[in-house]
Amino acid sequence: MFVAFISVFGGAAIFSLLMVLLVHLLFMPFPLGGEYYLFYLFLMVIPALVFMIGFSFFVVTWIRNRVLSVIFLLGFLGTTIFYLSDCLFGLFDPLGLSLPSAFSRITGHSDIWGYFLQRGMWFFLGLSFVGLTILKFDRIPNRVSCVGKRVLVLFFLIIGILCGGSFFFLQQNKFWERLNYRSIYEKYSSYPKAYLESQDVDYEQRENEMFVNTKLVVRNRTGKDMSNVLLYLNPDLDITALSINGMTSLFEREKQVIVVPASLSPGDSLLLELSYKGQIDERICYLNVPDVEIADTRKRMYLACRLGKRYSYLRKDFTLLIPEVLWYPTTVPPENPSSPYDNSRNFTRYSLRVRGHGKNKVISQGMRKRNGDQVIFRNEHLLHGITLNIGDYITRQLTVDSVTYELHMWRKHAALLKILNDRLEPSPDQKVSSTELIIRHVRHIAEISTGRKYPYKRFQLVETPLDFTSYFRDEMKSSGFVQPEVLYFPERGFRTKVFFSEVELAVNSLLFQEDKFRNTFSWDGILRWNVLLKRFHLEDGVFDKNPYLIRTQFYNQISDIICQTYPFLNSLVNLIIEDNNQTRIQPRPSLTPILEQQAIDYLRSHSLKDALYDHSLTMAVLGAIFVLKERELVDIFQTKGVDQDSLVSFLMNFLDRHRFNVTDFEQLNEEFKSVFHVDWNTVLPSWYARSRIPTYLLKIADVMRVKTENPKDLYSRIEFAIFNDSDVDGVVNIRTSTYLPGGWAEMQLAHKEKRRESTIKYQAFKIKAKTGKRFALVVGEFLDFMINTNIAGNLPNSFFFHETGIFTQDTSQYIEEVSRRYFLPDTNVFIVDNTDPGCKLTQPSTFLKLVNNDHLMSPKSWIRFINFKEGIFMPSSSWKEFLAQDCQGTTVRSFVFTRGGAGDYRLTWEVDLPKEGEYEAFVYIPSYSLNMNIQKYRISPLGDEEKVVSIDTKGKWCSLGIYNCLPGISKISLSNEGEENQMIIGDAVKWVYQGKAIR
């Protein structure tokens, strides 16, 4: 048995290592690192092997039943792999699969000490289980050798527990300290902040420590007297001296906050000089990111290999420091954990002098100048922060159209530069290099999509270690990878395909694609069989926000608007510009449906003001709320005569005039009032504090082509009506998409130049509570049309239309008031929808008896719709509900569906007819239905014969016949009788009174 266990666990592990080694030697373009394979053998394989052998023998010895032992061991292994591997930072993972195990060629392993402790725990626990097994076979328990074995077993057990405990507390301490840092930020959040006007940093690196002397000029711009000046600095950096205007001063310090006793009157300034030294505590970073996300390493992995997370580096051979780590003092914190969108900043004149870097390359913002063994950087613009990168880099530099572009690659990866150079080798007939063409094209896309010129004089791409991590933050629309003038990309272009694909496409994807597809690996996915694709799922995938999106260099990084009442205003203004800019290739991007509905659900009883300070909200939901409220505000301005394009143009012009500067909101508002005669202060209070949402009734006619004498004239007539069926005012908008002037040829040119391929216009309308409007519009050069109810209780909340091919000669246009009665059926028409109480579902339960599924029809939770879960419309073995705009319904338009079968699933519509007479019965089947054959309906009119009718039409009301009905309940039912892959669809029925019954 011992040989069998060795063969299974050890042989399989060593065989897999040898196979990976063979693949590396034969197919990978990178040199072989034999020490890595030894690392995995001795620290991953052997501890797992020792534990599994020891634990297996222990279980077999103590249970004494091989079948039960095997079942127990398989259960233990499955539980640890599938359910416990990520529990408590990977503590309960005997195989070490959830631990960071990747090596960077720049900085090595991300957490080698933690890895040693966790693997040591399982190694020594395995030895203790081996000892316990041996003790079981001792026939003379009290002899000296037996006592020695017990002591040894106890020793191994204690060492294992100590290793595990040390690993846990090492990881948990990070989050205890993060909590402490958050509380300190919140403690000082209400203190007045001085403005940092300039800072000269003199940086020297000695081994793994920094020694810094810095001079700061701070000014009081608060308009009130200040008794103290607050500075923020990394808590692991020790201050050795501090002076005010040349005089040594005392100070108080609480972790990252330094309180300097200095009185400042409004408008006054003072000079602070600090000397400090030490290392960097990375736990100060990203305090507004939830701890769960910080602890989760599954987003940083390749297949089963976790990459680990680091936020800065301060080493003899490599340094990488970004503003988020507070490596130099600031007067405002880089983030606000209590309210992420309250993220004011200073624009500061920085200079940086670096010494002690040896032969390594120094990279930072600004104009670079070498002076002996020193490198000096002076910024041409005021910046909100600077970075520092020191390492063994090789650099390629090219100036194109007055902007200098630099690529900094780790010297060990020079082979990748050769690959890139070979791919960009110009052809003999080219007048300029392929690199210049790509740079011009990429910059063109950036400037077209943002509507702004690139604001800096240089753009630097810098390679960073594999485990260097940052997080996309909605309030900044970027991550720490994107800094002024600098973009940090992953080691060897990991996951960017820049070096191994078409360069231009890869760069465009890296810099401009808003959502990036990320492969996710799960061990349970290996055992999951996909019936549709007939293959195993080794990888799944999700879409994440692109952390390398560079739009923030054109927006958030170059301006700041301050406002005490609405501290989020800078983020709001930048989002208005980015979200509504006509030069953007795509119009307002769709939100993730489930996040959008979570946001709308929250706004049913909460305001934006509540959301910004609600720590129970995830950042994703808060981001969705902010986007929805931003769009609502733009629509509100439009109802007051400020159209979307004019609003965006004004804001862009205002920020361009105040580029690299902080501006007061009142200045923006005064200029806005002078141009549009609209006061932000009359709009923002109710918009900010409103905690209710409207609900609408909609009536939508077809989009019809206007028949004209000239067949080349493209005019369409759109007619629809909307009623606000709530007690709160609302705003809806319509979006029309038309051909560009110049028609099809201009659209092709726009596609080639990466411009928007159509003209998109939004019109907003205020719909007051308990009022309705009917619209008729004529649109030229029509492409498509959309109605958006926005923040409302309607599902779906947008309706999209193309031309139907139906012609009309009516060219009248109007907007007229209508009452609620206009949206209700005739008094002789009785409709039952699938969402009404009169519609009931039945299906076999797990106990094979019919149950009533009224709970499926409850409107209290939108999550029941598969649009927010599976997302795909496929045959199902149970009744499911799908939202679609062409369904019947009032506030919710949906249908239910199931797979064809034996007829034991039923959908029944019951209607209480008020009077005796002749009624015609109809059924409605949405045109969205797929793979629908004949459906059989059983009509059970009260007072007439039961009848079965087959229907195979969809997209309209279909007659089921005329029946004589008595007052009371009449029924129409639909079963799932049909072919196995047939889709059975149920939406609505109606009974139309025809007159008195003829007997």
Same domain, 645 and 747: no
Same domain, 787 and 868: no
> Residue 625 — pLDDT band, cuts 50, 70, 90?
very high
Which of 680, 694, 699, 659 is closest to 555 using CA atoms? 659
Same domain, 728 and 846: no
- Structure-token match 């233990």, residue found: 76
What is the distance of C-alpha 589 from the center of its chain? 13
Q: pLDDT at position 605, please? A: 92
Same domain, 30 and 138: yes
Residue 763 lies in a domain: yes
Coil, strand or helix at 808 = strand
Residue 852 lies in a domain: yes
Q: Which structure tokens are listed for 28? A: 């990978």
The pLDDT tens digits of the residues spanning 34-61 come to 677 788 888 888 898 899 888 888 888 8
Task: Say if residues 720 and 822 touch (Cβ distance below 8 Å).
Answer: no
Put residue 321 in one of left, alpha, beta given phi > 0 → left and psi -120 to 50 → alpha. beta
Residue 390 forms beta bridges with which residues? Answer: 319, 362
> Residue 6 — pLDDT band, cuts 50, 70, 90?
low
Same domain, 807 and 898: no
Task: Say if residues 774 and 816 touch (Cβ distance below 8 Å).
Answer: yes
Which of 44, 41, 50 is closest to 123 using CA atoms? 50
Percentage of the residues of the chain whose pLDDT score is greater than 90: 46
Helix axes 569-580, 619-639, angle to 10 degrees: 70
How does DSSP assign 190-238, residue by residue?
TS---EEEEEEEEEEEETTEEEEEEEEEEE--SSS-BS-EEEE--TTEE
SS3 for 838-897 is: CEEEEEECCCCCEEECHHHHCCCCHHHEHHHCCCCCCCCCCCEEEECCCCCCCCECEEEE
Greatest mean pLDDT among 1-10, 576-585, 701-710: 576-585
Phi, psi of 147 (to 5 degrees): -65, -40
- What is the Cα–Cα distance from 694 to 731, expressed in whole angstroms? 9
- What is the Cα–Cα distance from 778 to 156, expressed in whole angstroms? 83
For residue 946, give the CATH number of its domain. 2.60.120.260
Stretch 112-117: mean pLDDT, rounded?
A: 92
- Structure letter (DSSP) for residue 723: E
Greatest mean pLDDT among 501-505, 569-573, 868-872: 569-573
Stretch 447-466: mean pLDDT, rounded?
A: 90
- Range of weakest confidence among 106-110, 597-601, 759-763, 952-956: 952-956
Cα 821 to Cα 95, 280, 770, 824, 837: the distances in Å are 68, 68, 11, 5, 21
- Structure letter (DSSP) for residue 382: -
Q: Which structure tokens are listed for 358? A: 């040896």
Residue 99 lies in a domain: yes
> Residue 143 — pLDDT band, cuts 50, 70, 90?
low
> Residue 851 — pLDDT band, cuts 50, 70, 90?
very low
Report the chain's mean pLDDT, rounded to a whole number. 85
Q: pLDDT at position 528, please? A: 45
Phi, psi of 636 (to 5 degrees): -60, -45
Task: Give the strand pairing for 349-355 and 195-206.
Answer: parallel
Same domain, 595 and 630: yes
CA angle 485, 490, 493 (to 5 degrees): 105
Q: pLDDT at position 930, please? A: 54
Residue 341 lies in a domain: no
For residue 400, give every residue at least 6 positions away whose Cβ sits within 8 Å of its Cβ, in sequence order, or none.
Answer: 436, 439, 440, 443
Stretch 659-677: mean pLDDT, rounded?
A: 94
Cα 760 to Cα 479, 558, 630, 644, 746: the distances in Å are 30, 28, 18, 11, 15
Which of 823, 849, 876 is the endpoint of a domain?
823
For residue 762, give the CATH number of its domain. 2.60.40
Q: Which structure tokens are listed for 226? A: 């200040």
Task: Say if residues 236 and 279 touch (Cβ distance below 8 Å).
Answer: yes
pLDDT above 90: residue 618: no
Q: Which structure tokens are listed for 283? A: 């736990």
**pLDDT: which is higher, 868 or 647:** 647
Task: Say if residues 899 and 982 touch (Cβ distance below 8 Å).
Answer: yes
Q: pLDDT at position 141, please? A: 56
Which of 635, 665, 689 is the endpoint of a domain?
689
Residue 751 lies in a domain: yes
- What is the Cα–Cα distance from 994 to 816, expressed in whole angstroms? 32
Same domain, 762 and 834: no
* Residue span of the structural domain in which 623 resides: 578-689
- What is the Cα–Cα distance from 73 to 56, expressed in whole angstroms? 7
**pLDDT: which is higher, 534 or 432:** 432
Q: Which structure tokens are listed for 543? A: 């879409």
Same domain, 762 and 864: no
Determine the length of the chain.
999
Same domain, 841 and 863: yes
The pLDDT tens digits of the residues spanning 806-823 come to 888 888 899 999 999 999
Q: pLDDT at position 539, please? A: 40
The number of folded domains in the chain is 4
> Residue 389 — pLDDT band, cuts 50, 70, 90?
very high
Coil, strand or helix at 458 = strand
Same domain, 641 and 607: yes
Residue 611 lies in a domain: yes
For residue 793, give every residue at least 6 positions away whose Cβ sits within 8 Å of its Cβ, in sequence order, or none.
Answer: 600, 604, 693, 694, 695, 726, 891
Q: pLDDT at position 534, please? A: 36
Same domain, 652 and 750: no
Put residue 809 in one of left, alpha, beta given phi > 0 → left and psi -120 to 50 → alpha. alpha
Phi, psi of 989 (to 5 degrees): -130, 160
pTM: 0.87
Q: pLDDT at position 855, please? A: 42
- Range of weakest confidence among 11-25, 82-96, 127-141, 703-717: 11-25
Say if residue 796 is preceded by a cis peptide, omega within 30 of 0. yes
Residue 498 lies in a domain: no
pLDDT above 90: residue 281: yes
Helix (H) or strand (E) holding 490: strand 486-490
pLDDT above 70: residue 277: yes
Greatest mean pLDDT among 680-694, 943-957, 977-991: 680-694
Q: Which structure tokens are listed for 767? A: 């719909």
Q: Which structure tokens are listed for 512? A: 């401009």
For residue 680, give every residue at least 6 positions away whose Cβ sits within 8 Å of its Cβ, in sequence order, or none.
Answer: 665, 668, 669, 672
Residue 573 lies in a domain: no
Beta-carbon-side half-sphere exposure of residue 824 (alpha carbons within 13 Å): 8
Instruction: Count CB neighbours of 290 within 10 A.
Output: 13
Which of 167, 187, 203 is the endpoint of a domain?
167
> Residue 769 — pLDDT band, cuts 50, 70, 90?
very high
> Hey, which bits of 557-709 come out as E strands?
560-562, 662-664, 696-700, 704-706
CA angle 96, 102, 107 (to 5 degrees): 130
Same domain, 819 and 837: no
Stretch 115-129: mean pLDDT, rounded?
A: 92
